[in-house]
């Protein structure tokens, strides 16, 4: 094994250990919180009629829903099933959580990817524009726009954009039944356009700030001053020396934002009627389906951890300075 591989392997093993502990913590916290909140699947299914059930009927329903056992037994039973690939069953639909997740996860991933593309398309050029004249008018305007995009809540922006386009232009493709990318690519892209734009605007602000700070930092490095002194053309200097090195922290920021999108796209999915994994959690919470919520949250946590591990690995590959950490 080469020295480089050894340096990459040690932090990776440590991160994997931390990831396992994190996932166990998430699973335990989700399990406890769901049972601390008042109500259960019986009250969610029967509503006020649950008060008319006899003790025998309640015990029978508790056994059916698997909530008649002590919490440790419930947790270990659910966790054991997850480790063997059994994520549980949705009692309201009669479908396995694995099947529901397999349908919902690609929609959320597609939305996250499109939102990242929009965020990078807005944030990176914006950061370059702000860094080109620090302290000048363009920097101030760009910073103000970034602050405004960060300050406006996603649900408010999503509602405003959807209402404006529907009322003014009569265009609201999300009012139709959801079309997958495979079934109807053109309609799918139209339905993803608005939520991707809304989420992308919220992502653009941290990307812009990261790009601006990184460019200003790289410009003060000795190798940039040396290249400028050697007569390297300004455009080549900006692209090959400044921007190339400044994008390294942007990679980390992009990975973090992508991970957050997998769990934080709930608002956009709900407003624009996208059957994603965030909406699946919301429906599970409304119906008090413990298996749906627990397993889906764990899947989201796994995706978040994997994205961060991949981002960390890419960061170490492209920047030799962090390999020794």
For 148-179, how does the pLDDT look when each residue is reduced to its tens digit (9 = 90+)?
887 887 778 888 888 888 888 788 887 778 88
For residue 110 the two structure tokens come to: 């597609």
> What is the model's pTM?
0.82
Reply yes or no on whether the pLDDT at 324 is more than 50: no
Residues 3-49 pLDDT 10s: 455 545 666 677 788 888 989 999 999 999 888 887 777 777 777 77
Q: What is the CA radius of gyration of the chain?
A: 24
Opening angle at CA 204, ends 276 and 256, nearest 5: 60
Contact 298, 88 (CB under 8 A): no
Establish how many alpha carbons lie within 13 A of residue 64's alpha carbon, considering only the half-sphere containing its beta carbon: 14
- Ordered DSSP codes for 44-80: HHHGGGGGG--HHHHHHHHHHHT-SS-HHHHHHHHHH
CATH fold for the domain made of 97-322: MetI-like fold (1.10.3720)
Q: What is the pLDDT of residue 9?
A: 62
pLDDT in tens, 232-254: 777 777 777 777 777 778 888 88
């Amino acid at each position: 094994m080469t020295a480089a591989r050894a340096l990459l392997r040690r932090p990776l093993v440590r991160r994997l250990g931390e990831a396992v502990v994190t996932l166990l913590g998430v699973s335990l916290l989700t399990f406890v919180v769901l049972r601390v909140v008042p109500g259960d699947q019986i009250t969610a299914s029967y509503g006020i009629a649950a008060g008319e059930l006899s003790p025998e009927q309640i015990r029978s329903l508790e056994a059916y829903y698997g909530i008649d056992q002590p919490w440790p037994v419930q947790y270990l039973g659910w966790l054991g099933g997850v480790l063997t690939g059994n994520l549980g069953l949705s009692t309201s639909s009669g479908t396995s959580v694995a099947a529901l997740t397999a349908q919902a996860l690609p929609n959320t991933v597609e939305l996250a990817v499109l939102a990242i593309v929009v965020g990078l398309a807005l944030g990176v050029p914006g950061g370059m524009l702000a860094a080109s004249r620090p302290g000048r008018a363009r920097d101030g305007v760009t910073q103000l726009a970034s602050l405004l995009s960060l300050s406006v809540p996603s649900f408010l922006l999503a509602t405003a954009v959807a209402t404006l386009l529907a009322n003014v232009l009569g265009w609201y493709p999300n009012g139709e039944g959801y079309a997958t990318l495979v079934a109807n690519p053109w309609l799918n892209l139209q339905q993803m356009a608005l939520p991707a734009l809304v989420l992308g605007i919220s992502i653009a602000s941290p990307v812009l700030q990261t790009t601006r700070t990184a460019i200003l930092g790289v410009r003060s490095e000795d190798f940039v001053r040396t290249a400028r002194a050697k007569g390297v053309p300004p455009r080549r200097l900006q692209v090959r020396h400044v921007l190339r090195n400044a994008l390294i922290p942007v990679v980390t920021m992009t990975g973090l934002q992508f991970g957050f999108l997998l769990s934080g796209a709930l608002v956009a999915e709900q407003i624009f009627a996208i059957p994603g994994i965030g909406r699946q959690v919301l429906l599970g919470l409304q119906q008090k389906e413990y298996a749906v919520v627990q397993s889906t949250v764990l899947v989201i946590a796994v995706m978040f951890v994997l994205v961060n591990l991949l981002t960390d690995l890419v960061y170490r590959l492209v920047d030799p300075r962090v390999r020794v950490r």
